[in-house]
Amino acid sequence: MRIITYMKVAFFDTKEYDKKFFEPYSKEGLRFVFYDTGLSADTAELARGADCACVFVNDDVNAEVIEKLNTYGVKLLALRCAGYNNVDLAAARGKLPVVRVPAYSPYAVAEHAMAMLLCSVRRVHKAYNRTRDFNFSLNGLTGFVLHGKTAGIIGTGKIGSAFIDICRGFGMNVLAYDKYPKSDGIKYTDLEEITEKSDIISLHCPLTPETKHIINKRTINMMKKGVIIINTSRGELIDSEALLAGIKERKIGAACLDVYEEESDLFFEDNSGHILNDDVLARLISMPNVLVTSHQAFLTEEALEAIAATTVENIRAFFERGELLNEVTCRAKPQYEKTPAKSGQNGDN
Ligand code: NAD
């Protein structure tokens, strides 16, 4: 009987589309176990005996979880996403190396931002519902033209730059702010000018202590009446209560939200049979000028393929070659040597 070795990877918060794109890699030394449940202190035990835990944006990888994963023998945390604000990196330092997928399709997210903007300004969501009911009236569907309008982009990394290109294609003027500006033909300015002069503001910076509630009551007051706010980045960039107040006061013309600050208990799940406990989200969703999608901007064939390929390469590099590709924390003192795999029977992988 041939003895083979494999690395066991415990996937948390897994959806059907994750399985579809990861399963083809579940061979040649990798064994995947998919859990629907998210990772938290209560569920960390599921990773006992796994070499790697693989998580997504709303898994809560706090200090307690990291401690538990460490105790259970997990040697690598593989994020199958770009953002890592849900991981306590300070706690992970020296205990659990963390790797991520830094880019999987900036176009997917940038195109979704434009899809939401177009849907909102041309009232496509309203028209779709009406015509399904054979209501062909046009009252209340008057939109406006994007050509010549000013888009303010906060964060000009991979997604922000792709969105700028799209906006330019529509003949829009672009103002941009980035803490670390690049010199690539983008017209940079400060946050104040963006806030005051933009007809549309789109957020593409990461969530950090500095950017938390970068859109708040004060900045909303400074904005043009009728401004459209797009957030495909992270929910906590916007103070949701201030956003709701701005919409009620008719200051904000529309909000296109792919993310929401309290999304972790709601998004990615079917809650249609439940009473929504989040009054702010319920009120936002009830507004005719608010579009909400549940963190789906990335959700394209191209992005899912790239996420799976990079995640598997990150895992293989670590366990087979001792390399940390796409690391986001300091590496722990290695607890393993080459190929720290389990033994299994033939056909057990
Ligand atoms: P990126 O790292 O390429 O770009 C981020 C940019 O933000 C960088 O240019 C950086 O300099 C800038 N930045 C950092 N701190 C800033 C600050 N304080 N103020 C202004 N700018 C600042 O990242 P990306 O791939 O373009 O992704 C952007 C964000 O999009 C991610 O952080 C993630 O939260 C989000 N995202 C969302 C989805 C989705 O499905 N909705 C998918 C992928 C990424």
Q: What CATH number has the domain bearing residue 227?
A: 3.40.50.720
Q: Who has greater pLDDT, 73 or 184?
A: 73
> Would you state the pLDDT for residue 333?
42
Q: Whose CA is nearest to atom 20 of ligand 1?
A: 178
Are 256 and 189 contained in the same domain?
Answer: yes
How far apart CA 247 and CA 343 sit, in angstroms, is: 59
Task: Give domain status of residue 349, yes or no.
Answer: no
| Per-position b or e across 44-82, b if 16+ CB within 10 A of its CB | bebbeebbbbbbbbbbbbeeebbebbbebebbbbbbbbb
Report the residue among 84, 86, 109 best suited for mutation to probe ligand 1: largest number of ligand atoms under 8 A from its CB.
Answer: 109
Q: Whose CA is nearest to atom 37 of ligand 1?
A: 233
Pocket lining for ligand 1, CB < 6 angstroms: 82-83, 103, 106, 109, 154-160, 177-180, 204-206, 208, 210-211, 232-234, 258-259, 295, 297-298
Q: Tens digits of per-residue pLDDT, 82-123?
A: 889 899 999 999 999 999 999 889 999 999 999 999 999 999
User: Rounded to the nearest whole angstrom, what is the distance from the C-alpha of residue 156 to the centroid of ligand 1?
Assistant: 8
Are 121 and 205 contained in the same domain?
Answer: yes
Provide the 3-class DSSP secondary structure of residue 327.
strand
> Would you state the pLDDT for residue 3?
53
Q: Whose CA is nearest to atom 17 of ligand 1?
A: 179
314: confidence class by pLDDT, cuts 50, 70, 90: very high
> Would you state the pLDDT for residue 265?
83
Q: What's this model's pTM, rounded to 2 decimal places? A: 0.88
Task: Give domain status of residue 348, yes or no.
Answer: no
342: confidence class by pLDDT, cuts 50, 70, 90: very low
Q: Of all atoms in ligand 1, which is nearest to the CA of residue 205? A: 7
Task: Give domain status of residue 219, yes or no.
Answer: yes
Are 123 and 170 contained in the same domain?
Answer: yes
Across the chain, mean pLDDT equals 92
How far apart CA 47 and CA 114 sit, in angstroms, is: 39
Are 308 and 271 contained in the same domain?
Answer: no
Are 39 and 113 contained in the same domain?
Answer: no
How much of the chain, in percent, has pLDDT values that exceed 90?
85
Q: Whose CA is nearest to atom 1 of ligand 1?
A: 157
User: Rounded to the nearest whole angstrom, what is the distance from the C-alpha of residue 128 to the centroid of ligand 1?
Assistant: 32
Contact 260, 281 (CB under 8 A): yes
Are 148 and 11 contained in the same domain?
Answer: no
Are 324 and 178 contained in the same domain?
Answer: no
Task: Give domain status of residue 93, yes or no.
Answer: yes
Task: Give domain status of residue 53, yes or no.
Answer: yes
User: Rounded to the nearest whole angstrom, what is the distance from the C-alpha of residue 131 to the centroid of ligand 1?
Assistant: 37
Residue type, 260: Y
Q: Two tokens at 245?
A: 């107040």
Q: Two tokens at 203?
A: 């957020």
Query: Which residues contact residue 262 at a Cβ distance below 8 angstroms, ignoring those fewer than 6 apart?
Result: 235, 240, 278, 280, 281
Contact 111, 159 (CB under 8 A): no
> Would you state the pLDDT for residue 236?
96
Task: Give domain status of residue 1, yes or no.
Answer: no
Q: Of all atoms in ligand 1, which is nearest to the CA of residue 182? A: 9
Are 156 and 23 contained in the same domain?
Answer: no
User: Rounded to the nearest whole angstrom, what is the distance from the C-alpha of residue 159 to the centroid of ligand 1?
Assistant: 7
Helix (H) or strand (E) holding 303: helix 301-321
How far apart CA 227 and CA 205 sit, in angstroms, is: 19
Task: Give domain status of residue 217, yes or no.
Answer: yes
Catalytic residue numbers, as ranges: 234, 263, 295
CA distances from 314 to 53, 162, 285, 317 (A): 12, 25, 38, 5
pLDDT > 60? residue 250: yes
How much of the chain, in percent, has pLDDT values that exceed 70?
93
pLDDT > 70? residue 332: no
> Would you state the pLDDT for residue 2?
52
How far apart CA 171 and CA 194 sit, in angstroms, is: 18
Q: Tens digits of per-residue pLDDT, 153-170?
A: 999 999 999 999 999 999
Q: Two tokens at 233?
A: 């980045």
Q: How many independent structural domains does the chain possess?
A: 2
User: Rounded to the nearest whole angstrom, what is the distance from the C-alpha of residue 240 to the centroid of ligand 1?
Assistant: 19
> Would you state the pLDDT for residue 343?
34
Are 173 and 242 contained in the same domain?
Answer: yes
Q: Tens digits of per-residue pLDDT, 254-304?
A: 999 999 998 888 898 899 999 999 999 999 999 999 999 999 999 999 999
pLDDT > 50? residue 336: no
Q: Whose CA is nearest to atom 42 of ligand 1?
A: 298
For tokens 């029977």, name the residue. 345
Are 97 and 244 contained in the same domain?
Answer: no
The alpha carbon of 198 is separated from its chain's Cα centroid by a whole number of angstroms, namely 24
Q: Tens digits of per-residue pLDDT, 213-227?
A: 999 999 999 999 999
Are 257 and 322 contained in the same domain?
Answer: no
Are 97 and 116 contained in the same domain?
Answer: no
Domain span at residue 330 reads: 7-104+300-343
Task: Give domain status of residue 68, yes or no.
Answer: yes
Contact 137, 130 (CB under 8 A): yes
Query: Of 256, 275, 292, which marks where a domain is finished?
Result: 292
Q: In sequence order, what DSSP letters do the residues of 32-87 get, joined into one string?
A: EEE-SSPPSTTTGGGGTT-SEEEE-TT--B-HHHHHHHHHTT--EEEESSS--TTB
Contact 311, 78 (CB under 8 A): yes
User: Rounded to the nearest whole angstrom, what is the distance from the C-alpha of residue 232 to the centroid of ligand 1?
Assistant: 10
Q: Whose CA is nearest to atom 30 of ligand 1?
A: 233
